[in-house]
């Protein structure tokens, strides 16, 4: 179960600039991180639900579970995603 924290998101051409309100830190993220954050939203999702939604919304069917787990862990470490 993970959820995205309160974020300001601005898409720039090569990457997405994200201002994380709780920390004051600006992150520069490339795909698929912004899509993961957008899908998680503030309410959060279980990992299984997240994978399913990403596949459906963003045409990421080939995105394997291991890669998704890694990306998610990176976002958790950076503080952009909190786990329940």
Partner 1 sequence: MGGVVKGGRLLARALRDPASVTTLDATGWTALLQIARAEQLIGTLAARVQGLKMPPDAARILTDAAASIAQQRIAALWEAEVARRVLKPLGVPVILLKGTAFLAAGLKAGVGRSVGDLDLLVPRERIGDVEAALLAAGWEWVKPDPYDDAYYRRWMHELPPLIHRERDRMIDVHHTILPLTARITPDAQALIADSLPFSPEPGALRTLSPSDMLIHAAAHLFADGDLAGGMRNLWDVHCLIEEFGVAGLTQRAQHHGLWREVARAARLAHELYDTPIPETWRIWDSGDPLYMRRLTARDGWGRRTRPLTRFGFYVRSHWLRMPPAMLARHLWTKWRNQGAVGD
Partner 2 sequence: MRHAFSVRIGPVGFRIGSDWRAPVAQLETLYADYPKPEIPDFTVRLFAARPWRRFVRPSVTIEGDFVLPDAAPLPLAQGLLAAEMGMNLQMALGQRRFLLLHASAVERDGRALLMAGVSGAGKSTLAALLSARGWRLMGDEFALVDPATGLVHAFPRLVSLKNTAIGVVEAALPNARYGPLMAGTPKGDIRHLVPDAAAVAAMNEPVPPALILFPSYGFEAESRAVPESEVFVRLTQASTNYVAIGERGFDALTRLVKTVPARAIDYPDTESAIAQVEALWAAL
Residues 6+ apart with CB under 8 A from 76: 2, 82, 83
* 8 touching partner 2, by CB under 8 A: yes
CB of 70 to partner 2, least distance (A): 23
Distance CA 62, CA 64 (A): 6
Q: List, in order, residues 6 or more apart from 52 with CB less than 8 Å away.
A: none
Among 1, 25, 52, 67, binds partner 1 (CB under 8 A): 25
Residue list 14-43, contact with partner 2 (CB under 8 A)? 14-15, 17, 19, 21, 24, 26, 28
> Of partner 2, partner 1, none, which one sits near residue 19, judging by CB under 5 to 8 A according to partner kind?
partner 2
């Amino acid at each position: 179960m993970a959820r995205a924290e309160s974020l300001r998101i601005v898409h720039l051409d090569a990457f997405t600039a994200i201002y994380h309100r709780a920390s004051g830190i600006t992150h520069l993220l490339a795909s698929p991180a912004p899509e993961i954050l957008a899908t998680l939203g503030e309410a959060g999702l279980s990992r299984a639900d997240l994978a399913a939604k990403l596949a459906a919304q963003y045409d990421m069917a080939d995105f394997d579970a291991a890669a998704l787990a890694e990306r998610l862990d990176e976002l958790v470490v950076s503080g952009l995603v909190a786990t329940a």
